[in-house]
Chain A
Amino acid sequence: MSGHLDVQHVSKRFQVDGKPIEALSDISLSIQPGEFVSIVGPSGCGKSTLLRLLAGLDRGFEGNILHDGKPIVGTSLDRGIVFQEPRLFPWATVRHNIGLGLQNAPIGRTQKEEMIEAHVRLVGLQGFERAYPHQLSGGMAQRAAIARGLVNRPQILLLDEPFGALDAMTRGKMQIELQQIWAHEKITMVLVTHDVDEAVFLGDRVIVLAPRPGRISRIFEVTTRRPRQRTDDDLIHVRNEILLALEAQEPKPSPLARSTGDLIERPAA
């Protein structure tokens, strides 16, 4: 089975105002085929940067990232991505937007139509195939984006805070739907989020990142059987542990640290 990701000693630096900023420092991580991995951390911990590296959207890093043993060079049809904003093309209908994922798929026209149709159903957008993005609610637009990410059957789906801009009720429903889709598709998913509940509810493992420089601070296994209930005791237990871990890596608030803000190198507690 394919869809294996291997991250080996990956570091990434950005130049900000001429000064190098270390965004990621020595990240090593192995993601199994069919696994659901959540990555959480405070803002600025480099979780989106890591996901963009996995997608092949950004280059120029140290270390190795292997997809089924092959180094990642640029994007690939085997790795789909869903961004925080749906990024649907406003001039195209839902159907056309989903079909973008099949532009370069080596299949015939009727087969493409069938694939689009199947994925419209998968995300529950029947009846909206001809709608334009501005006619959709936020949740529906993100569903269309998920369908677009899945339509060419990637081995891995990368999700960059896909529900971050949705209201709490919609977010909860989308999480349940995503869990169903994952169970149905049986592909690897990597979810970046700042929502600990979301990370625990969906993930087989939760990677906790610490900021400045971005690095792995803890890894939690979530062994709760699926389909899960949010009220499951062990889910709540893991969630509390993660929240404690995140709190522990925050520096003690002091007037000095507050006034100078992010410029001070903070030791991880």
Chain B
Amino acid sequence: MTSELTIARSIGRNVLQARGSDALADWFRRLWRGALPLLWGLVFPAIVLPIWFAGTYWGWLPQQILPTPSEVWSTLLDMLRSGELKMHTTISLLRVVYGFAAGTAVGLALGAAMGLSRRVDDYVRPLFTAIAQVPALAWIPLAMLFLGIGETLKIVVIAKAAFVPVVMNTSAGIRNVPLEFAEVGDTFKFSAWQKLRLVVLPGAIPSIFTGLRYGLTHAWIALVSVELVASSEGLGYLLVWGRQMFWLDTVLVAMIVIGLVGFATDKLLAKIEQHLQRWRIHGA
């Protein structure tokens, strides 16, 4: 119809469709671009690991305090083989799953209510902020008196840790959906339900997902805290127990597993988030 359209169309085609002959080159470029941050991320481990080796080799610290990397490695393999590591990890993971699920369910509901209704926000916000200011760890002594030291305690403490960021980001995400979009809904006579489904929720999804990611991170941190204080199983317990027995190799193995699991779950959520927000990714 017009040359402007033609130009825009050719740009659009570049963005939208296959890349044709230079697909291979592009594939390599993307591989390189994906690998580069990974390589940068390996710089620090590459510096620290030799120092660790050197430290144990020349005995800068007593061996009870800093075991050799090979010792930690063989302990890791032993614990894998005996199933001990799997048992502790499974227990910890299950606690996080239950706690995170409970905290997220309540958090999403409350966050949505606070985001949608100014009145609910006015009622709940001060108390919520006060509760949020007290770290999960600080709730443990009081919670112990009410709940004992069983599974309920752990799940409640983890749920609280996940709950706070989910509420904050959900309510903020809903509140920040531009009024302009709601007006578009008005001109098409959207019902309240249609506005929620077609305008508010899709607009708030990025923020809600940020909340979920923070929630999961906090849940994982709270898990370790609560297992340190009150547990006889799980990765946190492994840490305390290892320290008491002066098995520093066990302590290090537990720390490595905690780090790896946390890293993996965060990456997984990031992937899901990326998938849900394809429309946000600019260019190719």
- A75-B186 contact in complex given A87-B181, A89-B181, A140-B5, C-beta closer than 8 Å: yes
Would you call B190 and A103 a contact (CB within 8 A)?
yes
| A residues less than 8 Å from B199 (CB atoms) | 89
Cβ of A163 < 8 Å from any Cβ of B? no
Would you call B184 and A87 a contact (CB within 8 A)?
yes
Closest to A128 in B: B12
CB-CB contacts below 8 Å: A129-146 with B: 130-137, 139-140
Closest beta carbon of chain B to A78's beta carbon, Å? 10
Closest beta carbon of chain A to B188's beta carbon, Å? 6
Closest to B13 in A: A127
Cβ of A201 < 8 Å from any Cβ of B? no
A-B contact count (CB 8 A): 91
Would you call A130 and B184 a contact (CB within 8 A)?
no
Cα A188 to Cα B187 in complex, Å, equals 17
Q: Given A75, A89, A90, A137, which contacts B11 in the complex, CB threshold below 8 Å?
A: A137
Closest to B16 in A: A131
| B residues less than 8 Å from A128 (CB atoms) | 9, 12, 16
| B residues less than 8 Å from A90 (CB atoms) | 279-280
- A57-B186 contact in complex given A135-B15, A173-B2, C-beta closer than 8 Å: yes
Cβ of B183 < 8 Å from any Cβ of A? yes
- A136-B8 contact in complex given A75-B186, A77-B189, A103-B188, C-beta closer than 8 Å: yes
- A132-B279 contact in complex given A75-B186, A87-B184, C-beta closer than 8 Å: yes
Would you call A137 and B180 a contact (CB within 8 A)?
no
Closest to A169 in B: B4
Closest beta carbon of chain A to B137's beta carbon, Å? 38
Question: How would residues 80 to 115 of chain A score, 1 for a CB under 8 Å from any chain B CB and 0 otherwise?
Answer: 110101010111100000001101100000000000
Cβ of A124 < 8 Å from any Cβ of B? yes
Closest to A85 in B: B180
Cβ of B205 < 8 Å from any Cβ of A? yes
| B residues less than 8 Å from A101 (CB atoms) | 188
Cβ of B33 < 8 Å from any Cβ of A? no
Q: Total interface residues on B, using CB and 8 Å?
A: 33
Cα A140 to Cα B1 in complex, Å, equals 12
Would you call A89 and B189 a contact (CB within 8 A)?
no
| A residues less than 8 Å from B189 (CB atoms) | 75-77, 104
| A residues less than 8 Å from B278 (CB atoms) | 132
Cα A84 to Cα B12 in complex, Å, equals 23
Closest to A145 in B: B184
Closest beta carbon of chain A to B84's beta carbon, Å? 46
Cβ of A55 < 8 Å from any Cβ of B? yes
Cα A80 to Cα B186 in complex, Å, equals 11
Would you call A139 and B8 a contact (CB within 8 A)?
yes
Closest beta carbon of chain A to B284's beta carbon, Å? 10
Cα A183 to Cα B198 in complex, Å, equals 33
Closest beta carbon of chain B to A73's beta carbon, Å? 12
CB-CB contacts below 8 Å: B154-213 with A: 180-181, 183-191, 194, 198-199, 202-203, 205
Closest to B7 in A: A137
Cβ of B118 < 8 Å from any Cβ of A? no
Would you call A100 and B1 a contact (CB within 8 A)?
no
Cα A83 to Cα B35 in complex, Å, equals 44
CB-CB contacts below 8 Å: A167-184 with B: 169-170, 173, 177
Closest beta carbon of chain A to B15's beta carbon, Å? 5
Cβ of A48 < 8 Å from any Cβ of B? no
Cβ of A152 < 8 Å from any Cβ of B? yes
Question: How would residues 208 to 240 of chain B score, 1 for a CB under 8 Å from any chain A CB and 0 otherwise?
Answer: 000000000000000000000000000000000
| A residues less than 8 Å from B202 (CB atoms) | 89, 91-92
Cβ of B81 < 8 Å from any Cβ of A? no
| A residues less than 8 Å from B9 (CB atoms) | 127-128
Closest beta carbon of chain B to A150's beta carbon, Å? 12
Closest beta carbon of chain A to B140's beta carbon, Å? 40
Q: A90-B280, A131-B12 are in contact. List 9 more A-B contacts (CB 8 A).
A: A57-B186, A77-B189, A87-B184, A89-B184, A89-B202, A104-B188, A127-B9, A131-B16, A137-B11
A residues sitting closer than 8 Å to B (CB atoms) are: 55, 57, 74-77, 79-81, 83, 85, 87, 89-92, 100-101, 103-104, 124, 127-128, 130-137, 139-140, 152, 169-170, 173, 177
4 closest pairs, A vs B, by CB? A137-B8, A132-B279, A91-B202, A124-B1
| Contacts A/B (CB < 8 Å), 25 sampled | A74-B186, A76-B189, A77-B188, A79-B187, A83-B183, A87-B181, A89-B184, A89-B202, A91-B277, A91-B279, A92-B202, A92-B279, A103-B194, A104-B188, A104-B194, A127-B13, A128-B9, A132-B278, A132-B279, A134-B282, A135-B12, A135-B15, A139-B8, A140-B12, A173-B2
